[in-house]
Amino acid sequence: MKRLGRIYQPVIYDDVGHAFLRRGFGTETSGKEKEVNQAAWSRLLSLLSAGQIKN
């Protein structure tokens, strides 16, 4: 990442499985998964709109 000039900021969402983004829209999804799903999508969209994610 450094060699490519990229900033890497890992975020770990506790108490959810690795597929929480996909399951977060399901009708049988736990409240925690829905909450984390929304937070992750909001973060991604914010990074995209700020131009912080590049090819």
Q: What is the pLDDT of residue 55?
A: 57
d(CA 53, CA 55): 7
d(CA 27, CA 4): 40
Instruction: Delimit the domains of the chain by residue range.
Output: 1-55
pLDDT digits (tens, 9 = 90+) for 27-49: 777 788 888 888 989 998 998 88
**What pTM was computed for the model?**
0.70
Distances (CA, A) of 3 to 10, 50, 52, 54, 55: 17, 22, 16, 15, 14
**Tokens 């009708």 belong to which residue?**
27
